[in-house]
Chain A
Amino acid sequence: MKVKSPLEIYNYLPRTNCGECGYETCMSFAAHVIDRSAKITDCKPLVEEAEKDPKAKKNLEKLLELTAPEIVEIVVGTGNSAVKIGGEEVLHRHELTFFNPTAFFYDVWDTMDDKEIDERCSKVVEYKKFYVGEFLTLDGIAVRCTSNDPKRFREVVKKVSGYGKPMILVSLDPKCMKSALDEVADKKPLIYAATPENWKDFLKMALDYKVPVVLRSKDLQTLKSMAKTFKEAGVTELVLDPVTEPIGEGLRSTFERVIQIRRSAISAGDKDLAYPIMVTPIVAWLIDGDDVSKAYWEAVIASTFIVKYADVMIFRSLDQHVVMPTVILRYNIYTDPRTPVQVESGLRMINDPSPEDPVFITTNFALTYYTVESDLTSGNIKGWLLVLDTEGLGVEVSVAGGQFTASKVKELIEQTKISEKVNHKYLVIPGLAARLSGAIEDETGWTVLVGPLDSGRLKGWLEKHWPPKK
């Protein structure tokens, strides 16, 4: 955003410290606007005043302009499934954070059997990957017009829209695009794509149907020229596609183009390029080779640009060896580095345990904790789970780094009064903490059982080792 200091926002605020926004003072609110944990429109008096008084309205508009993200933020789709893209502020995540994770769209095409279309759409809609306490999902469906038949395209687009996911409509032919928009414009699809050849028709459609549009050109000057033309004509919901090339010099220059666009927007402040970027890993399916090689290369292209600035992508493969690494990489790169991923330490009861059930211990690193907790829960294992404060580090690192120690285990046992809740003194520790077993026994007086290296194997391990042989 344009302003860097809370003071620059503060002067536009009511300065009454009314607290309606949830922060005690206007200054504190301003600080949260700067780090984007609060929005200007959270200031109710400001918004209400603006409705009554044109001067206050100007003030509010000015503030919104000053605090707008560096990269334009746009929304594709409607309702709960709508996805936000863009809205970024920085080139390197440690400088603040990245905000809106790259949106993943998967393709279907209109010369596909209806049955196959349904199968692919269902896969996209139903995909789930458990990670850090939640299920990761996929964002939308890209419908490609391969029939060149406006009627067929419209029919398929209608069918796909029934799945309720955001859509990208893919056709360079204005007739086909218009026909599809007549059907689903109210679902706010992203239309793909305006090129130096067809841009007038696409500009008109973007204006008439009020839908976001992708601009496509390998030449960044042309891309910029289209963006400026569209903006001045009144279309601001733009996405830039500098054309993804799958291999060799083509891929290298794609890398350069994507970085140049984002760098021009953020470092050089070029507003005409400050839009979300599209990359199409699906181009991997144009190269020679077997399906696994293509799928791997699709994951490689996607991962490169998840790290480097792509805001929206079109994929082909729905195989797990492409989807799983990319959804997790996206989660990792877009995790806010400012908030530690920790959970509260203490005692958790899993599946309503009784006094004879086992006691486990793990760390408070969110990933470790949620992995263990979900393994126990979904494995129907009853037990008591001690969560040790390892300052948000995983088992291996905290054992090596001295955040997971016998004396801290002792403290936790005392603090949680676990010995009053169970009728035994057996503690199951993670396999990766095996080297602490002697020290923990000495320090706590409990008998240590060294569990498996991965909590996913606890179920089988318990069958052999629990109840413990005396």
Chain B
Amino acid sequence: MIDLAKKFTLEEFLEILKKYNVDELEGVRIEGDLEIELEGSALDLSSIAPLYTLLSEFGNFLYHANMALSYLQRLSTALGIPTPFAVAPQPQVQPTPPAIEEVKKIPEKLLEVKFEPTKVEFTTAIEEVVLGATKSDGGSREKTVKVGGQKSLAFYTFDSAQPNLPVIAIDVFDRPPMLAKAVRMHYQDVLEDPAEWAKKCVKKFGADLVTIHLISTDPLLENKPASEAAKTVEEVLQAVKVPVIVGGSGNKEKDPEVLEKAAEVSEGERVMLASATLDMDWERIANAAKNYGHVVLSWTQMDINNQKTLNRYLLKRVGMPRDSIIMDPTTAALGYGLDYAYTNMERIRLSGLKGDTDLNFPMSSGTTNAWGAREAWMIDSPIEGDTPWGPRELRGPIWEIITGLTLSLAGVDLFMMMHPIAVAVLKEIFSTLSGNVKESIEDPDAWLAMEG
């Protein structure tokens, strides 16, 4: 094999050759067979591949690495330059064996081969972030939720163990929001009472966390003052024992004040403030998280560079601890930009694992966005010529499931969702792919003979 040192020698050798007017070499042709293995040498093609560009400078007659080598051998002899190779390949060119009409024969036995699974090891782990705090940590949660901590792509348990499964937070609003019918029917009885709503999410639908969205603070809606919104946060914290996420209304002017107040009243509970964005006072929001011991959600609009920038601001300017940042790189629904969301998140995750410490944070997804897709809620297609869409009660949940599933494969650790069936199915997928569901079916070949 050519090692790096020898490769360097070959380059030098080529440099020397260049001095001998390359043009003179034009027209020299080496005829011969194109055997890959070179007898009498340990040289294989892959090791010479990096030199290929260099070799091709000598003209297109050197179109095989093998030929190039023997050519160089001859030249070195002719020009009296020492050969750069320790072991000299056989100078004789093997004659081409006569072409034999191949008879297609069925072999007796399968050929023996070796298969070694490949293992990918990354250098950097995703930060592990704890949400919620129990009594011993100064809070009142019954348990905490951990996200992140992995050193491989999502569910690649064969590369490295996954310390934490993705978790699901169910959305709660402090006033009845616009909801698709299929979603609303599950919350009809609690729409006016955020505390009851939160309880239902945990007790009935198995939420790992709840997110209370303080949308009534929006100046375009009720414009509820921050202090009043903070009371709702307290009520939710009392109603449930799981960790809580606090969301604003998305209003750039109002959110910093609302989230600051929420951070203050939930001191010790280690909530997540959602969110700090580049176009609002991220510094104030992140400072509130830092000062009261919470986590901040760093939200950018589908742009890996902006995500890096905002994370750096939070780390460097605010001094957020590394274990207190989660990212939301933005979720687009299946069919409505999911490809961008998927690839953006996959790139962020790969960058983090490969050592970009501005990006190795857990990720969160607003998967409820899936319900914006018309396929999820519309009675039927408005498009002439479409195959009828079928019952929408069945389309909606699967839209949320597939949106979430796809992003889980990109590396999302925390899902904010709404439909109870979607929540249940995604949980099943996560435990299955993580290796926590042991049962299998006995005969996976049975479909071959399946009738009906």
Contact = CB atoms under 8 A, between A and B. Distances in A.
A246 B444 contact: yes
A332 B114 contact: no
Given A94-B346, A144-B448, A333-B406, 13 more contacts: A111-B451, A144-B450, A226-B110, A233-B106, A248-B441, A286-B441, A292-B394, A296-B401, A300-B401, A304-B409, A335-B339, A378-B385, A401-B301
Contacts of A129: 386-387
20 contacts: A7-B53, A8-B56, A12-B63, A92-B350, A126-B387, A233-B107, A234-B102, A246-B441, A272-B113, A283-B444, A286-B450, A296-B397, A300-B405, A325-B334, A333-B339, A367-B336, A378-B382, A378-B383, A394-B337, A459-B382
A252 B399 contact: no
A435 B450 CA distance: 56
Interface in B312-351: 330, 332, 334-339, 342-343, 346-347, 350
A371 B374 CA distance: 10
Contacts of B450: 109, 144, 146, 285-286
Contacts, number: 254
Interface in B400-452: 401-402, 405-406, 409, 425, 429, 432-435, 437-441, 443-451
Interface of A: 5, 7-8, 11-12, 58-59, 62, 92-94, 109, 111-112, 126-131, 135, 144, 146, 170-172, 196, 199-200, 203-204, 207, 220-222, 224-226, 228-229, 232-234, 243-252, 255-256, 259-260, 263-264, 267-269, 272-273, 280, 282-283, 285-287, 292, 296, 299-300, 303-304, 307-308, 319-322, 324-326, 328-329, 331-333, 335, 337, 367, 371, 374-375, 378-379, 394, 397, 400-401, 435, 454, 456, 459
Nearest to A293: B425
A287 B447 CA distance: 10
Contacts of B335: 131, 328, 331-332, 367
Contact of B375 (A8, A324, A378): A324
B383 A130 contact: yes
Interface string B194-206: 0000000000000
B343 A337 contact: yes
Contacts of B395: 320-321, 324-325
B218 to A, nearest CB: 11
B378 interface: yes
Interface string B43-61: 0001000001100100110
Given A246-B444, A329-B402, A221 B113 contact: yes
Given A128-B385, A128-B386, A245-B444, A299 B402 contact: yes
Contact of B346 (A92, A264, A374, A456): A92
Contacts of B72: none
B8 interface: no
A248 B440 contact: yes
A365 B61 CA distance: 49
B444 A244 contact: yes
A375 B387 CA distance: 15
Given A229-B111, A264-B115, A255 B448 contact: no
B248 to A, nearest CB: 14
Contacts of B389: 320, 324
B60 A250 contact: no
Nearest to A314: B447
A248 B338 CA distance: 27
B402 A325 contact: yes
Nearest to B112: A225
B19 interface: no
Interface centre among A62, A303, A371, by most chain B C-beta atoms within 10 angstroms, is A303
Contact of B440 (A144, A250, A268, A292): A250
B63 A62 contact: yes
Interface in B102-122: 102, 104-107, 110-115, 117-118, 120
B355 interface: no
Interface centre among A222, A252, A401, A454, by most chain B C-beta atoms within 10 angstroms, is A252
Nearest to B338: A332
Contacts of A371: 374
Contact of A307 (B52, B111, B406): B406
Contacts of A456: 374, 378, 382
A5 B447 contact: no
B309 interface: no
A279 to B, nearest CB: 12
B337 A280 contact: no
Contacts of B338: 329, 332
Nearest to A223: B115
A325 B370 CA distance: 11
Contacts of B425: 296, 300
B77 interface: no
Interface stretch (B141-149, B150-158, B261-269): B150-158
Contacts of B64: 62
Nearest to B350: A92
Interface centre among B111, B338, B343, B347, by most chain A C-beta atoms within 10 angstroms, is B111
Contacts of A264: 115, 117-118
Contacts of B440: 245, 247-251
B302 interface: yes
Contacts of B334: 325, 328-329, 332
Interface centre among B112, B117, B350, B429, by most chain A C-beta atoms within 10 angstroms, is B117
A332 B330 CA distance: 16
Nearest to A434: B220
